[in-house]
Amino acid sequence: MLKYINHKSSLLLTLLTAFLFLYPFRQDGEALFPYFDKVVHIIIFSSLGFFWLISASKKHASILTQFFVSLSLLTYGVCIEITQDLMPFDRAFDVWDIVADSGGILISILIYRLMN
């Protein structure tokens, strides 16, 4: 399955992430459990991190590559939060979303290192 992870699939996942976090979904009820949205952020950003780390190098991503992927994804997460705050929908900047994004990025690095 890892052989199907490449720059195209990573870019597609990145665009899908932007859609999911910026689309004005209606919230008619309560979340499945408290902090559900933070869990979603962790899952999405750990997936993004893993895809980009695999795409960055088919053999082994260096520490520098891991750092730049992490920094890029963290910047991406902050930009999404700022964009949410600027949009006229019921979305707002949330620093805890950025913390959850960071946790997801760290998880992706740990999984990547365990696999290599």
CB neighbourhood size of 76 (10 A): 19
**Which pTM was predicted?**
0.89
pLDDT of residue 80: 96
Residues of the chain scoring pLDDT < 50:
none
pLDDT of residue 33: 79
pLDDT of residue 28: 65
pLDDT of residue 82: 96
- Taking the C-alpha atoms of residue 10 and residue 30, their distance in angstroms, rounded to an integer, is 31
Task: List the end-to-end C-alpha distance of the chain, in Å, as a whole number.
Answer: 15
Question: Please, is 105 exposed, middle or buried when counting C-beta atoms within 10 Å of its C-beta (0-12, 13-18, 19+)?
Answer: buried
pLDDT of residue 69: 93
Listed in sequence order, the residues at least 6 apart from 61 whose beta carbon sits closer than 8 Å to its beta carbon are 53, 69, 112, 116
Q: Where are the domains of the chain?
A: 2-21+34-115
pLDDT of residue 18: 94
- The answer to whether 24 touches 92, Cβ cutoff 8 Å, is no
